[in-house]
Amino acid sequence: MIVHVDMDAFYASVEQRDNPSLIGKPVIVGGSADGRGVVAASSYEARKFGIFSAMSAHRAKQLCPNAIFIRPRIDYYASVSKELRQIFEEFTPIIEPLSLDEAFLDVTGSEKAKGSAVHIGREIKSLVRERLNLTASVGVAPSKFVAKIASDLEKPNGFVIVMPELVQAFLDPLPVSRIWGVGKVKEQTFKRFAISTIGQLRCMSLDTLQELFGTSAEHYWRLSHGIDDRAVVPDRDAKSISNETTFAEDLRDTEDLKAWLVLLVEQVGQRLRRSEKIGRTIELKIRFASFKTVTRSLTLHRSTNITKELLEGALQVFTNHRQNDREPIRLIGFGVSNLSSDGLVQLDLFDQPEREQQKSIDKVTDEIAKKFGKHALHRATAVKKPSKGNETK
């Protein structure tokens, strides 16, 4: 059994927790509404006004003039995420984080010592509330696909259990858009063939789906039948470490997209250092409004987990790609592969002082966030348009 834990409005909830005067108010974590910033996260009070991540901060201000805008503190959120990880580790070592605020846990081998998967899920929710003063939504199911849907179904503070014998009954009534890889464009394609629910999709033969959707057909067919045999892979065993975000509205502005890329690189850097890993190959993933997906990679001249070095490579790949394609983007992802253990890297004699300085910056930032979260250092370029001539941090 797999548990998927997804924190509720994580960034905004942390800000409300630390400043109780914000509780019950529409809080937006992101760039300034006076500039060209974008929304990184919003409280549930703000979401009632139709505000969502990746929306321009200016538009969010129009929808909710009384919204309270707060600059992101990614390093601090990472320190809270580390506390969350410590809770997970009390129940299982098999943890696959997807970002700072969500993770898969394989608790199959923990049930004899820690209780059933359902009990573990409830305990995690309780400890998150008790120790972090935050809420999490939890899904418990026999696969990643179903567990992730379950955790999202009754947000916020949801808890949904799907036992193995009930998977199909759980999936069938859900909209086909719940299938991974089915966006707005693909959803409309399904509707043209009178497919609006997962159950209707399941009733179609694989041959028919292949005629309609080609190479994607087997993916749709398997998930509609609840088939997902992917294992939960901890960072320490992963062949790559990555994060991605899907925008509620397609983004076209290059500077907004760069700001989101900064956030993703920061999170991947945190995970690499926490796992004591370094990587040599970086990969940028872009999914367009048309749902066409491309990946672009770059092999660095040495392995690293230094945020500045990862970001320089990411921005190089992104800039090269964006010069040739200005289509709106619905998803952006960043990953690092070709991993090895930290410390097993050839040092360059002449630039070693610069690298040590950057490693020290990362270390100090991580430690300050851990010990003095409310006053933690943060990178100002995230979710805010960089000033001219200062596009990297």
Hey, which residues are catalytic here?
A: 102
254/262 Cα distance (integer angstroms): 12
Q: Could you give phi then psi for residue 10, rounded to 5 degrees?
A: -50, -60
Rg over alpha carbons for the chain, rounded to the nearest Å, is: 21
Asked whether the beta carbons of 117 and 107 are under 8 A apart, the reply is yes
Q: Residue 283 forms beta bridges with which residues?
A: 297, 335
Residue 188: other Cβ atoms inside 10 A: 9
Asked whether the beta carbons of 242 and 335 are under 8 A apart, the reply is yes
Helices (H), the chain: 10-18, 44-47, 57-63, 74-89, 111-114, 117-127, 144-153, 167-171, 184-192, 198-202, 206-213, 217-224, 254-274, 307-322, 352-371
DSSP 8-state code for residue 175: B
Single out the residue of 242, 256, 260, 276 nearest to residue 359, CA to CA.
Answer: 276
- Our measurement of the distance from residue 244's CA atom to the centroid of its chain's CA atoms, rounded to an integer in Å, reads 5
Asked whether the beta carbons of 337 and 283 are under 8 A apart, the reply is yes
User: Angle 254-274/74-89 helices, nearest 10 degrees?
Assistant: 40
